[in-house]
Amino acid sequence: MLSAGFKTDRGRCRDNNEDSLFVLPNHRMYMVADGVGGNRSGEVASRAAVSYVASYVDSHSLDEVGSEEQLQLYFLDCLNGANGEVCRLSEENRNNAGMATTLVLAYINGEKGYVVNIGDSRAYLVRDGEIMQITRDHTYVNELLMQGSITPEEARRHPERNMITRAIGGEKTIRPDFFRFDLEPDDVLLLCTDGLFGELEDEVICRMVGEEPSMHRLASNLVEQANVHGGKDNISVICIRI
């Protein structure tokens, strides 16, 4: 039996919240988005993306999707549609020009977990006191890190650490990543924006997961601690216990 909790907060330094999240418990799907753009258009982009995905899932049954290859095509078609919607809204209103959003979504199907992401919003899996980042950040700094040009500590302090290289609405063609993994009882899956992991080390997140059995309280506690540590960005998190 899945249990989930979620929380979003503008943080301590931002005037508005450009994050969006959406929970579809009947479809066992959960998603978080982090919008970018001026004039509050980041909020428009993130909300449009998660709303489109939710509508798509409601009208295209996942029960009819058989193989893993079909599932990848399902989500690719879904996110392409979301990308088109964000691009359309950007073109129709000059105040929205250039807006884009990250998106990370999780789909739970029995003992299998699936994560799709574009941008730098993350999915983590916490199991037996250990935390693993499932997604790979689509950022300029992460590219430097993977090339060995900078160290992890340098990456955390890099002035361009928030520069994303892939986003919904950023280009006409998108390239999301797709991950499949096995799930075990008591696993906790976290989806979050950079407002969380930008303030809290992975080890702190892992410890807090182990200390709080309630997913609703865990989500609230994580957001609270991110604010305590600075709250420099919007903070959103979804916590799912298997």
152: pLDDT strictly greater than 90: no
Beta strands 112-118 and 122-127, pairing class: unpaired
Taking only the tens place, the pLDDT of each residue in 5-49 is 999 999 999 999 999 999 999 999 999 999 998 778 999 999 999
Pick the closest to residue 240 from 104, 71, 46 (CA basis): 104
Overall domain count for the chain: 1
| pLDDT value, residue 90 | 94
Taking only the tens place, the pLDDT of each residue in 232-241 is 999 999 999 9
DSSP one-letter code for 187: -
Q: What is the DSSP string of 138-173?
A: -BHHHHHHHHTSS-HHHHHH-TTTT-BS--BTTSSS
Provide the residue range defining the domain that includes 138: 3-241
Determine phi and psi for 2, rounding to 5 degrees.
-75, 140
Within 10 angstroms of residue 146's Cβ, the number of other Cβ atoms is 11
Question: Residue 147's domain is classified under what CATH number?
Answer: 3.60.40.10
The answer to whether the predicted template modeling score (pTM) of the entire model surpasses 0.85 is: yes
Determine phi and psi for 208, rounding to 5 degrees.
-65, -35
Taking only the tens place, the pLDDT of each residue in 191-200 is 999 999 999 9
| pLDDT value, residue 38 | 72
Look up tokens 């977990």; give the residue. Answer: 113
Taking only the tens place, the pLDDT of each residue in 66-115 is 899 999 999 999 999 999 999 999 999 998 999 999 999 999 999 999 99
CA 135 to chain centroid: 9
Going by pLDDT thresholds of 50, 70 and 90, the confidence category of residue 160 is low
Q: Quick check: 8 and 236 in contact, CB under 8 A?
A: yes
| pLDDT value, residue 40 | 80
Look up tokens 């998190």; give the residue. Answer: 237
